[in-house]
Chain A
Amino acid sequence: MEQILISGLFAGMVYGLISIGLSIIWGVMDMVNFAHSDFMMLAMYFTFLLFSGVGLDPLFSLPLVITALFIIGVLIYAVVIRKVVGGELVQQTLCTFGMVVFLQSLAQFLWTGNFRMITNPIASGSVRILSASLSRGQVVAGLASVAIGFAVWWIINKTRIGWALMATAQNRMSAPLMGINVNKMFALAWGIGLASVGAAGALLANFYYIYPQVGATFQLLALVAVSMGGFGSVFGAMLASILIGFIEALSGYFIEPAFKYVVVFGLYLLMMFVRPQGFFGTHA
Chain B
Amino acid sequence: MGTELLESMKSHKIAWGLCFVLLVTAIFFPRYNADPFPLHVILMVFLFSALGTSWNILSGYAGQISLGQSVFVGIGGYVSSVLYVSYGVSPWIGMILGMLITMAFGWMIGKPCFRLGGRYFAIATMAIVQIAYIVVSRWEFVGGARGIYFPMRNWGWVYFSFRDKASYYYIALGMMLVAFAAVLYIEKSHIGYYLKTIREDPDVAEALGIDVPKYKMISMMFSTAIAAMGGTFYAQYLLFADPDSLFMLSVPIMLLTVMGGTGSLIGPLIGSGLLIPIQEYARVAWSGRGQALDQLFYGFIIVFIVVLQPRGIIGVYDSIMDRLKKSIQTVPRG
Closest Cβ of chain A to B52, distance in Å, is: 14
**B307 CB contacts on chain A under 8 angstroms:** 80, 83-84, 95
- Mask, A97-110, CB within 8 Å of B = 1, is 11111111110110
B63 at the interface (CB under 8 A from A): yes
**A273 CB contacts on chain B under 8 angstroms:** 112
- Whether B120 and A276, one on each chain, are in contact in the complex, defined by CB atoms closer than 8 angstroms, is yes
Closest Cβ of chain B to A213, distance in Å, is: 12
Q: Which of B116, B292, B306 contacts A105 (CB 8 A)?
A: B292
- Whether A102 and B127, one on each chain, are in contact in the complex, defined by CB atoms closer than 8 angstroms, is no
- Whether B134 and A269, one on each chain, are in contact in the complex, defined by CB atoms closer than 8 angstroms, is no
Taking CB as reference atom, which chain A residue is nearest B298? A101
Q: Which of A80, A259, A284 contacts B303 (CB 8 A)?
A: A80
- Mask, B107-119, CB within 8 Å of A = 1, is 0000011011111
- Whether A109 and B293, one on each chain, are in contact in the complex, defined by CB atoms closer than 8 angstroms, is yes
Q: Which of A27-62 contact B (CB under 8 A)?
A: 32, 34
Q: Which of A242-284 contact B (CB under 8 A)?
A: 256, 258-259, 261-262, 265-266, 268-269, 272-273, 276, 284
- Whether B122 and A93, one on each chain, are in contact in the complex, defined by CB atoms closer than 8 angstroms, is yes
- Whether A101 and B299, one on each chain, are in contact in the complex, defined by CB atoms closer than 8 angstroms, is yes
The stretch that binds B, out of A136-144, A165-173, A219-227, is A219-227
- Whether B131 and A262, one on each chain, are in contact in the complex, defined by CB atoms closer than 8 angstroms, is yes
Closest Cβ of chain B to A145, distance in Å, is: 23
- Whether A268 and B134, one on each chain, are in contact in the complex, defined by CB atoms closer than 8 angstroms, is no
Asked, given contacts A80-B307, A83-B307, A220-B126, whether A94 binds B254 with beta carbons under 8 Å apart, the answer is yes
- Whether A98 and B299, one on each chain, are in contact in the complex, defined by CB atoms closer than 8 angstroms, is yes
Q: Which of B229-249 contact A (CB under 8 A)?
A: none
- Mask, A206-224, CB within 8 Å of B = 1, is 0000000000110110011
Closest Cβ of chain A to B105, distance in Å, is: 12
Closest Cβ of chain B to A42, distance in Å, is: 13
- What class of interface size applies to chain A in its complex with B? 35 or more
- Whether B299 and A100, one on each chain, are in contact in the complex, defined by CB atoms closer than 8 angstroms, is yes
**B59 CB contacts on chain A under 8 angstroms:** 90
In Å, the complex CA distance between A98 and B256 comes to 12
Asked, given contacts A89-B118, A224-B127, A258-B134, whether A97 binds B262 with beta carbons under 8 Å apart, the answer is no
- Whether A32 and B123, one on each chain, are in contact in the complex, defined by CB atoms closer than 8 angstroms, is yes
Taking CB as reference atom, which chain A residue is nearest B290? A109
Taking CB as reference atom, which chain A residue is nearest B132? A262
In Å, the complex CA distance between A216 and B293 comes to 20
Asked, given contacts A32-B119, A97-B67, whether A91 binds B295 with beta carbons under 8 Å apart, the answer is no
Q: How many residues of B contact A (CB 8 A)?
A: 46
- Whether A102 and B128, one on each chain, are in contact in the complex, defined by CB atoms closer than 8 angstroms, is no
In Å, the complex CA distance between A12 and B116 comes to 27
In Å, the complex CA distance between A87 and B138 comes to 41
Q: Which of B270-317 contact A (CB under 8 A)?
A: 291-293, 295-296, 298-303, 306-308, 310
Closest Cβ of chain A to B187, distance in Å, is: 18
In Å, the complex CA distance between A100 and B112 comes to 27
In Å, the complex CA distance between A101 and B256 comes to 13
Asked, given contacts A91-B310, A105-B295, whether A223 binds B303 with beta carbons under 8 Å apart, the answer is no
Query: Which of A105, A217, A224 has the most B CB atoms < 10 Å from its CB?
Result: A105
**A87 CB contacts on chain B under 8 angstroms:** 310
Closest Cβ of chain A to B331, distance in Å, is: 33
- Whether B127 and A276, one on each chain, are in contact in the complex, defined by CB atoms closer than 8 angstroms, is no
In Å, the complex CA distance between A284 and B308 comes to 30
- Whether B123 and A97, one on each chain, are in contact in the complex, defined by CB atoms closer than 8 angstroms, is no
- Whether B299 and A108, one on each chain, are in contact in the complex, defined by CB atoms closer than 8 angstroms, is no
**A219 CB contacts on chain B under 8 angstroms:** 126
Taking CB as reference atom, which chain B residue is nearest A26? B119
Taking CB as reference atom, which chain A residue is nearest B135? A262
Asked, given contacts A32-B123, A261-B134, whether A98 binds B295 with beta carbons under 8 Å apart, the answer is no
Apart from A88-B200, A217-B130, A258-B134: 11 A-B pairs, beta carbons within 8 A: A32-B123, A80-B303, A83-B307, A87-B310, A90-B310, A91-B310, A93-B118, A95-B306, A97-B302, A272-B112, A272-B120
Residues on B lying within 8 angstroms of A by beta carbon are 59-60, 63, 65, 67, 112-113, 115-120, 122-124, 126-128, 130-131, 134-135, 138, 199-200, 251, 254-255, 258, 262, 291-293, 295-296, 298-303, 306-308, 310
Supply 22 A–B pairs (Cβ within 8 Å), ascending by A.
A88-B200, A90-B65, A90-B199, A93-B65, A93-B67, A94-B258, A98-B299, A98-B301, A98-B303, A98-B306, A104-B295, A104-B299, A106-B299, A108-B291, A108-B295, A109-B296, A113-B292, A220-B126, A224-B127, A261-B134, A269-B112, A269-B124
